Amino acid sequence: MVNNIKELPAILLIDIHKSYGVNESKVDALKNINLEIAKGEFLALCGPSGSGKSTLLNILSGIDKPSAGSTIFLDKALNDLNENQLSFIRSKHLGFIFQFFNLIPVLSAFDNVYYPLILNGNYNKKEAKERSLYYLDSVGISHLGNRKPGQLSGGQQQRVAIARALAHNPEVVVADEPTGNLDLATGEAFLDLLMKINEETKTTFIVSTHSTQLKDRAKRVIEIKDGELVYDSAQ
Ligand SMILES: Nc1ncnc2c1ncn2[C@@H]1O[C@H](COP(=O)(O)OP(=O)(O)OP(=O)(O)O)[C@@H](O)[C@H]1O
Ligand SMILES: [Mg+2]
């Protein structure tokens, strides 16, 4: 029997619009976005400040809802789900590295990685501890595990956020300018790590960036300008 069923994409966006505010203060942050991202892709999302990158990442990962259009995330139509269902899906299948980290200030760096693993329900304490240490080590800061976010530099906090996003082995990792606070060498090492994980596990990566470092290395590059998709290297 010939298997001609095409594998479903990791993410499918259909006619997405997003606006903020009303009347004179209305901002059309995204206009008519159609995008298919296959499982295992490594996609760089480029565009100037204010072009809609963070808005697009938040919508495709179910953190925010579009004003119009549909989001399919790993075969699930996100529009149909309530907040509890969305947060369940995100905790299992998504790793999100926020532009401004979103670490929990009262927890140590280690606990910021460890507790989500425990809450996620897939790992026992021993496994969660091992995974937290492994990922903190892989971004070079396992020795700072006892410090709270306020006692870490911006780049170090970003590395904790990276470890947290990867530690539960998600199918989709979304990162919003993850190298923005890292020096060139650390940024390069970080990209090496993401690409290694992408190669080995076929995890899908969607990474927004201003940096040419990433644009030059990503398998697919898309560009957004004033809320519109203006370039796709795959087309
Ligand atoms: N909560 C909000 N309320 C009103 N306008 C918003 C809101 N969030 C974003 N915007 C506007 O939507 C547009 C897109 O913003 P977005 O944060 O997605 O841009 P970006 O490409 O991520 O920019 P940067 O590179 O600076 O992070 C901008 O004009 C911004 O001012
Ligand atoms: Mg942004």
pLDDT in tens, the chain (235 residues): 455 556 789 999 999 999 999 888 899 999 999 999 999 999 999 999 999 999 999 999 999 999 999 999 998 999 989 999 999 999 999 999 987 888 999 999 999 999 999 998 889 999 999 999 999 998 889 999 999 999 998 888 988 998 999 999 999 999 998 877 777 887 787 788 888 889 988 899 999 987 777 888 888 999 999 999 999 999 8
Q: Please name the residue whose Cα sits nearest to atom 7 of ligand 1.
A: 20
SS3 24: helix
Structurally, the chain folds into a number of domains equal to: 1
1: in domain? no
4: in domain? no
CATH of the domain at 125: 3.40.50.300
Q: Which residues of 16-25 are buried (b: 16+ CB within 10 A; e: fewer)?
A: bbbbeeeeee
5: in domain? no
Q: Please name the residue whose Cα sits nearest to atom 28 of ligand 1.
A: 50
Per the structure, the complete domain to which residue 169 belongs is given by 11-232
6: in domain? no
Helices (H) and strands (E) in the chain, counts: 7, 10
Which residues, judged by CB distance below 6 Å to any ligand atom, belong to the binding site of ligand 1?
20-21, 27, 29, 47, 49-55, 99
CA of 64 to the centre of ligand 1 (A): 13
SS3 content of the chain, % helix, strand, coil (to 5): 40, 25, 35
Q: Which ligand is nearest to the CA of 51?
A: 1
pLDDT given at position 4: 55
CA of 204 to the centre of ligand 2 (A): 20
Among 82, 48, 90, CA closest to 174: 90
3: in domain? no
Describe the strand order of the beta sheet including 42-46 as a list of residue ranges. 94-97, 172-176, 204-209, 42-46, 220-225, 228-232
CA of 5 to the centre of ligand 2 (A): 36
pLDDT given at position 121: 85
pLDDT given at position 184: 80
188: in domain? yes
112: in domain? yes
Q: Ligand 1, from 22, 31, 54: best to mutate by most atoms within 8 Å of Cβ?
A: 54
Question: Which numbered atom of ligand 1 lies nearest the CA of 52?
Answer: 18
126: in domain? yes
Question: Which numbered atom of ligand 1 lies nearest the CA of 99?
Answer: 27
pTM here? 0.91
